[in-house]
Amino acid sequence: AGSFTMNESYVKLLSPRQLIGNETLFSLSKYMWTQYTMRKADVVYLVTARDMIDVLPRGISTGVLGMAYRGKACSRYQVAAGEDKPGVLSGINTAAHEIGHLLGSDHDGYGTSRSCSDKDGYLMSPRAGGKNNFLFSNCSKNEIDSFMGSFDAYCLEFDWSIHIAFFPNATAKLPGTLINGTQYCALYFPGKRNVTYIKWDSDLSKCKFRCQIGWKQNGDPNYAIRTALDGTPCNRSNRSMVCRNTVCG
């Protein structure tokens, strides 16, 4: 189920392009309780193209991709929010990470998940882009399993069908069949001039896109490496091989 609205009364902004994550999350939880469709949902997830920030007593933190209440699915605080750059599906892992929090998982290396190192790069690591970022660690699996077996997860036992969001037929295809590296780099860095996609076979075999976003002060090219989309061809001699969850096969 899903919905779209231009009414953003629950969104709290520091500037037109900066969304205050902690304040928006609290406001969204109150707004959700006034909306029948949202109340019947298991979780409510806000997707934003704005830059999420966290306002703290010591200042503003800009290193925020998403935010959620831990273990609060099926409750008045069943809300989460995350960044997503339009057109490049950059927010998929962020959404999975934040929903993992709603389902009871802590960050790897912290709290009840401290026995799993955040350096292993699983989905619930506090640092994005790890080598295992499409997988839950054993700690996360155990915590989610514990939550799912508790009364707090009662709503997940029911099958509500209230509102269905319809998307263009193109979404049935893997995104890598619709967006190539050149388009991806341009969409990912819209504010950069002369963004160039650098196609290296060694990158594609690892399911990576290499975007050149200018030059360093020493004259070397400035590269940004991003994860290639699922469906991206990754073997020049075998066109049937495509990326899936960062693996070429």
Q: What is the pLDDT of residues 161-175, one digit of tens each?
A: 665 566 556 556 889
Which residues are CB-contacts of 83 (< 8 A; sequence separation ≥ 6)? 48, 49, 50, 51, 52, 64, 65, 66, 90, 91, 94
Alpha-carbon span 128 to 133, nearest angstrom: 7
For the entire predicted model, the pTM comes to 0.86
Strand partners, 19: 13, 52
Any idea where the domains of the chain sit in the sequence? 13-166, 175-248
Looking at residue 142, its pLDDT comes to 98
pLDDT band at 191 (very low <50, low <70, confident <90, very high): confident
Phi/psi of residue 203, nearest 5 degrees: -75, -45
Looking at residue 5, its pLDDT comes to 58
pLDDT mean over 224-229? 94
Output the average pLDDT for the chain. 91
Helix ranges restricted to H, the chain: 21-32, 36-39, 92-102, 138-148, 181-188, 201-204
Give the residue numbers annotated as catalytic, written as ranges: 98
- Can you give the length of the chain in residues? 249
Q: Is 163 annotated as a binding residue?
A: no
Looking at residue 67, its pLDDT comes to 97
Whether 210 and 227 have beta carbons less than 8 Å apart is answered as no
pLDDT band at 6 (very low <50, low <70, confident <90, very high): low
pLDDT band at 189 (very low <50, low <70, confident <90, very high): very high
**Residue 100 pLDDT greater than 70, yes or no:** yes
CB-facing half-sphere around the CA of 164: CA atoms within 13 A: 3
Looking at residue 3, its pLDDT comes to 56
Looking at residue 170, its pLDDT comes to 55
Q: Is 101 annotated as a binding residue?
A: yes
pLDDT digits (tens, 9 = 90+) for 40-86: 899 999 999 999 999 888 889 988 999 999 999 999 999 999 999 98
Alpha-carbon span 53 to 67, nearest angstrom: 10
Looking at residue 51, its pLDDT comes to 94
- The CATH topology of domain 13-166 is Collagenase (Catalytic Domain) (3.40.390)
Looking at residue 118, its pLDDT comes to 94
For 56, the 3-state DSSP assignment is strand
Tell me the pairing of strands 13-15 and 44-48.
unpaired
To the nearest whole percent, how much of the chain has pLDDT over 70? 92
Alpha-carbon span 176 to 242, nearest angstrom: 8
Looking at residue 59, its pLDDT comes to 87
